[in-house]
Structure 1
């Protein structure tokens, strides 16, 4: 490994976000190098739930079977520990959360990234970063000493204390933590009916079953933190905090993992600085209400990956890369907002009781329950699409539904068409208008002809690699604009096969 080694994209951090990004880049024809400072995976469970939209994303890439085997399914969620969110009322096929420990998520994504040719380097710590108009040069401390890497682009997926963010000079405004919270994955002799989250006289207490007699217990006090976030948690601290919050003495057996967290809420003021990008916790941190952090980060990666790959291939420029910030920054802003709202509703002060009671009554209405469910799971996301009419089709900017299709005598779901991570024009006329579509697209996007099993589907949709619909069958000039925006204006000599 010599000095000045050149790569196309460097990803810093091999958590779920960095590994998902590596997979997306590799699908786009780019072989990334992933730098991870830890010599081996932690094996810690950490984040536990994969929300509906993340489950859909995994299905889009043909990875869902690897995650779902043996994983418990949660058909309900919560908002501020109040009335349950009924996830089965959501639109789509995956109307549930999948309980997968972060350690397993990382293992599956690392396996897939390796299959696709990504270069994962464990024990390699980023120590310096300099960028210019042509690329980014980083200094890395590895097991064999210090070396340099040169790349077209670099993405920081290195957590809330991101070195990449600091070295790139990107601001991280927000507020520091004001509460004391600890958690532990432990053995419990009791068998609480979980998962559940309760507002108690002393704060918030929750339990999550992890299989067998292993449970996660969480206790949060609405008082200033008693220790630095990096200070280790002792079992005594966990039990004492639980006692202050609930008034109960809990007996535990073996202890597997202890940690602390808070309600610090910060968001990078920009997700891009030249050729440096941020994703996941490096770009946004918040109180873990509703388990939205990992899911938001994974979807950051799916939004950014295909755009960076297109830029590396010379098929996109700054205009496309800038849409990463414009599309994903508002998403995390809303997550930060709803987690702060949930925390306010969980405050044990009696003055909050009337507000909670009113909010719980409102959540009994199906429309409100669905609104909150879609917000927490990310299913309500709809990107703005250039050139959209004043009254756009409801599908425009939303995710591709898993429509049941037929082609060449085979019946299958539309999600299968996204396994390769490329964009496509889904022609639902059975090929009747294929020649028209191919003439406009000029080979920039593959056209796939099929027929919809169910009625009421549009004639065609243009789908981005991340699964969002950029154009709905109609005027062909609108198709040309959409294709130019997301796939470039350069036409190929012949249509893609």
Structure 2
């Protein structure tokens, strides 16, 4: 019987990122998928700044950006006129190395992840289906069916269900998936287009209850349309048969000043808004769409699944290597389920606002929303907040048992604020995917000695105005987790707080 540290069911972006993070930390991992090959069509298109920061830790960010299309502005159109242009570059240039939304089709994205996974020595086992599993408290026995129909079993310390909204892992656990299904039918189309909105920027039309979004691959009109088949709801299509591009509201497209010259492929789908009751059951975890699904509004879905994977990966690695107790893994659900519930609620409200029908809804969408967006984006604090939310750099774990203290305006659980001062980038050391202490100013001798004794990297950055603007307290120390979130903020110069932090959590690697 094959034995692994972690068995992953599902080789979409979430499953492959989980496998990559585990492999980079020396964990023996297997990943299976019942599909014969990676996806050849794409729904997920947007790669947000926080995902690129996490990819940077794996050395993937530059390659991913080079393969995709940077989009630095969002344009809002009403009745054939551009009513607002919101610059992402202006909002994010002091917040992240990646002040843009990257448009990168999921099929290409998956192939990139697959190449790097194979370089790491992990090969996706294709046409292999997870049929059942048994949690035996200390490990899981999984039953698999191979491409030739043969059955076999394998053993893993942990099982991660990254197998999508219809997750076999979730159904086998009997975990609830409360929520609902939108009445609207969504469509995606890969097109060659011409017109004012085919300029290489993101464009959205809010024409009455119609909705269409243009995500460009190039500056010459090739891109992805995402929208609703207006007037067609869950009851089905009159006359039967599959939906076609002719069923799409061309009024919304005309509102963008967009002419579609060629449709390379077209697909429709239904969207649910659901979050499972629990992310963990014993040795089994739910990750990505297996745990939560929601409207595509805001381009958050795939990025949230990748965030789940990274959050879980470093914790699994610590437990597998006997550095931390099994209880560390409970924080995965605590940290990620709260964000998923908030995200589903936010995207649900956004989608309902975009698609609501009636004169009042039309007035709010076509008159008030563009005006509010323009005014809000003219206020620095509001512009920064909007960018932080969309880019996911505002995700925090303040209520986590792993988050202690505050210093300056930074609270434990925050993502480590990004600062580049005098050519020194404070996110650069995060590529070690390990715990570290960062000090902005000068560290105390006692703290330096403790870090040296326990093999804890300590990074000292010469104090600057940029650090103060980012919220750091001078000479305070910040304990940073392997995923780039702050675990401990301590204004003192001594080692006591960080020593107690690990001792209280029975984190053996850093205990005396």
Q: Is the 8 A contact 1:89 1:95 kept in 2?
A: yes
Give 1:12 shift.
1.0
Give 1:196 shift.
1.5
What are the Cα deviations for residues 347-397 of structure 1, in whole angstroms up to 9, with x where unaligned?
Answer: 242221344344444432224443333222212122125473488742532
Q: Which residue of 1 aligns with 2:62?
A: 65
Task: For structure 1, list consecutive stretches of 5 or more residues without a partner in the other structure.
Answer: none
Give 1:435 shift.
4.8
Q: Is the 8 A contact 1:31 1:119 kept in 2?
A: no
Q: Count residues in correspondence.
A: 480
Q: Which residue of 1 aligns with 2:226?
A: 218
- Which range moved further: 62-71 or 5-14? 62-71
- Give me the whole-angstrom Cα distance separating, in 1, the residues matched to 2:450 and 2:269: 55
What are the Cα deviations for residues 168-211 of structure 1, in whole angstroms up to 9, with x where unaligned?
Answer: 21111101221122221133355633532212245212322223
Identify the match of residue 458 of structure 2 among 448, 455, 460: 448
What are the Cα deviations for residues 303-325 of structure 1, in whole angstroms up to 9, with x where unaligned?
Answer: 11000111111222332111111
- Give me the whole-angstrom Cα distance separating, in 1, the residues matched to 2:478 and 2:351: 40
Q: Which residue of 2 aligns with 1:472?
A: 489
- Give me the whole-angstrom Cα distance separating, in 2, the residues matched to 1:188 and 1:446: 54
Q: Which residue of 1 aligns with 2:396?
A: 382
- Which range moved further: 351-360 or 104-113? 351-360
Question: Aligned runs of 1:266-305 on 2, under 5 Å?
Answer: 266-305=274-313
Q: Is the 8 A contact 2:439 2:459 kept in 1?
A: yes
- Which range moved further: 413-422 or 199-208? 199-208
Relative to structure 1, is the Cα distance of residues 487 and 79 closer, same or farther in structure 2, using a 3 angstrom cutoff?
farther
- Give me the whole-angstrom Cα distance separating, in 2, the residues matched to 1:103 and 1:434: 51
Identify the match of residue 102 of structure 1 among 106, 117, 120: 106
Q: Is the 8 A contact 2:76 2:205 kept in 1?
A: no
- Which range moved further: 299-308 or 142-151? 142-151
Q: Which residue of 1 aligns with 2:128?
A: 124
- Give me the whole-angstrom Cα distance separating, in 1, the residues matched to 2:322 and 2:76: 44
- Give me the whole-angstrom Cα distance separating, in 2, the residues matched to 1:429 and 1:208: 43
Question: Aligned runs of 1:69-148 on 2, under 5 Å?
Answer: 69-77=66-74, 83-87=84-88, 88-90=90-92, 91-144=95-148, 145-148=150-153
Q: Is the 8 A contact 2:73 2:202 kept in 1?
A: no
Give 1:277 shift.
0.6
What are the Cα deviations for residues 413-445 of structure 1, in whole angstroms up to 9, with x where unaligned?
Answer: 222212131111234556x535534427852x5
Q: Which residue of 1 aligns with 2:173?
A: 168
Question: Aligned runs of 1:168-317 on 2, under 5 Å?
Answer: 168-188=173-193, 192-193=197-198, 194-201=201-208, 203-211=210-218, 212-220=220-228, 221=230, 223-225=232-234, 227=236, 233-234=242-243, 237-243=244-250, 254-317=262-325
Give 1:43 shift.
2.6
- Give me the whole-angstrom Cα distance separating, in 2, the residues matched to 1:434 and 1:255: 65
Give 1:274 shift.
1.0
Q: Is the 8 A contact 2:441 2:463 kept in 1?
A: no
Question: Aligned runs of 1:328-347 on 2, under 5 Å?
Answer: 328-346=336-354, 347=356
TM-score (norm 1): 0.87
- Give me the whole-angstrom Cα distance separating, in 1, the residues matched to 2:59 and 2:136: 37
Give 1:242 shift.
2.5
- Give me the whole-angstrom Cα distance separating, in 2, the residues matched to 1:39 and 1:383: 38
Q: Is the 8 A contact 2:451 2:457 kept in 1?
A: no
Aligned-residue CA RMSD (Å)? 3.1
Q: Which residue of 1 aligns with 2:507?
A: 488
Q: Is the 8 A contact 1:189 1:253 kept in 2?
A: yes
Identify the match of residue 163 of structure 2 among 134, 139, 158: 158
Question: Aligned runs of 1:364-403 on 2, under 5 Å?
Answer: 364-365=375-376, 366=379, 367-384=381-398, 386=401, 388-389=404-405, 393-403=409-419
Relative to structure 1, is the Cα distance of residues 111 and 308 closer, same or farther in structure 2, using a 3 angstrom cutoff?
same
Q: Which residue of 1 aligns with 2:427?
A: 415
Q: Is the 8 A contact 2:209 2:362 kept in 1?
A: no
- Give me the whole-angstrom Cα distance separating, in 2, the residues matched to 1:61 and 1:331: 24
- Give me the whole-angstrom Cα distance separating, in 1, the residues matched to 2:320 and 2:446: 30
Task: For structure 2, list consecutive stretches of 5 or more residues without a partner in the other structure.
Answer: none
